[in-house]
Homo-oligomer: A and B are copies of this chain.
Amino acid sequence: MSQMTTIARLATRDTDFDTRLASLLAWEGVSDHEIGSRVAEIIAAVRQRGDDAVIEYTNRFDRLSATAMSELTIGAERLEAAFANVPTEQREALQHAAERIRLYHERQKPESWQYSEPDGTVLGQKVTALDRVGIYVPGGKAAYPSSVLMNAVPAHVAGVREIVMVVPTPDGIVNELVLAAAHLAGVDRVFALGGAQAVAALAYGTQSVPRVDKIVGPGNIYVATAKRAVFGQVGIDMIAGPSEILVVSDGGTDPDWLAMDLFSQAEHDEDAQAILVSWDAEHLAAVEASIERLLPTLEREAIVRESLARRGALILCEGPEQAVELINRIAPEHLELSVEAPQAMAEGVRHAGAIFMGRYTAEVLGDYCAGPNHVLPTSGTARFSSPLGVYDFQKRSSLIQCSPEGADTLGRTASVLARGESLTAHARSAENRLKR
């Protein structure tokens, strides 16, 4: 076995490059059979016994001793107090972030539309907000107020009537910034619940927890497994994997900046992924030196070291075009284009959750306050999915109103096709409206 290196060095011209890249990117978040069974049991119990089951599981998993759901309910006054008591600097930062997130997401709001055809038939599409949405916020040390804003503000902008938040309070620990963010983002109700029992309560409703139409927000493997299980009963956002960044540098950005950008991703957890691609070998060596020099200065050095060793990489490629090919192959959650002409390079990018362009656009600005959402498709799912947005909190209904002429024209076609499918009641339903 080779000695443990700080971060892997790859080059696209290496004969084993494809294999090594594939193994670096591999991530299977699928839960095992045992977790699946335990989650199924929890969901069944919550459906059957409602609040009682929720309280039991919460007491067991979060080490509490609640006797009624009222003890696990966090009222509006409590949220407001948390907001009022946050230090001014933090309160203003939260307000700045919330306002920018709101402004960006306002631009996403689609309009309903309809149009008439010459024979008087009207077709259209009506956009409606979801009635009630549940937001899952992880508790404990990884409780992020920014996640509350990123999930709740788009729901609010979309016009959701009621936003219900669940956040576990293990050992009774409440994160004041999370409550403050909930107040600021327009969350209507908060329950101190987490895990599969919180997901089940939101999906099916209990005596105290209202049934929601969709559940969004990240969580551990139990939460992810529960979300997959209730999908269909309610909508869900996505099953998130570890966070990742792909940085492309043309060699012109300060190596210390790039090292810190990679660290900012790696410090999330040991499975987070930070990859730098460049066609400038000397520059890659300089960034590696910065990494080595700056690592000991980090508060979360141990996590960053582990994450870089397990899943990080510095990749030497042949040039900008090959860098774009790599981007599209990796389909990164976060893509930082630290190059001279980022807009031109972005043109060629087909798959990425969010694209951060230019040397000044640190990815972390998008985590907090640039405006676009920080809930992004991970593990290559940017191939087929999108950042969380206003869209996720609305749905569309098709509108069709046929004139008598339209019903005649369309009815003839429908009749032929229905008979071709042996669906004769379909055909006769259309034929009833034909002109005699």
A: residues with CB less than 8 A from B are: 29-30, 89-90, 93-94, 96-97, 100, 104, 107-108, 110, 113, 115, 121-123, 125-126, 128, 130-131, 141, 144-146, 177, 213-214, 228, 231-232, 234-235, 238-239, 254, 256-257, 260-261, 263-264, 266-268, 298-300, 304, 342-343, 346, 349-358, 360-373, 376-377, 379, 381-387, 389, 391, 395-404, 406-407, 410-414, 416-418, 420-430, 432-433
Contacts and interface: CB of A to CB of B under 8 A. Distances in A.
A298 B424 contact: yes
A304 to B, nearest CB: 7
10 contacts: A96-B413, A125-B372, A231-B239, A264-B425, A299-B425, A357-B399, A357-B400, A360-B407, A368-B413, A370-B400
A125 B108 contact: yes
Given A96-B413, A364-B430, 8 more contacts: A126-B355, A235-B385, A257-B433, A260-B432, A264-B425, A354-B400, A368-B410, A377-B395
B432 A254 contact: yes
A416 B364 contact: no
Contacts of A266: 425
A188 to B, nearest CB: 17
B234 A239 contact: no
Given A300-B425, A361-B400, A370-B123, A381 B417 contact: no
Q: Which of A145, A254, A358 has the most B CB atoms < 10 Å from its CB?
A: A358
Contacts of A300: 423-425
A139 to B, nearest CB: 13
Contacts of A403: 360
Given A257-B433, A411-B362, A396 B401 contact: no
A311 to B, nearest CB: 16
Contacts of A354: 397-400
A376 B396 CA distance: 10
